[in-house]
Amino acid sequence: MRLIKLLSLSFLLIATTSCLNKNSRKSNQQQTQKTDTMEINKEPTLQSMLDAQKNKFAAKADEETKRIYKEGQESIENSGILESKHPKKYRFSE
């Protein structure tokens, strides 16, 4: 009888430990996924990088340079090149 109790208790401990290890692994995997997602979200977007560059230029450039750039941008917009009649896959602005 004592042997049966000892074997039952051993089996119960092994089963419990096994379940705890599985839960621990799942928890570690979930934590790793959350960390990976957070690291991905920390990366700046292209738009934020472009905005930062634009603000940096606006702070440094003198008025003459800003005027020249503005005229260049207006010239490109007025040229019609952005509204090209090329197939859709070759267009730059949508």
The tokens 């010239």 sit on which residue? 75
Query: Tens of pLDDT along the chain (94 residues)?
Result: 777 776 776 766 677 776 666 656 666 666 666 665 655 667 889 999 999 998 999 899 999 999 999 999 899 888 877 776 665 665 555 5
pLDDT at 74: 92
Q: Read off the pTM.
A: 0.39
Report DSSP state, residue 83.
G
Q: Do residues 91 and 84 make contact, with C-beta atoms less than 8 angstroms apart?
A: yes
Q: Which two tokens stand for residue 61?
A: 């450039």
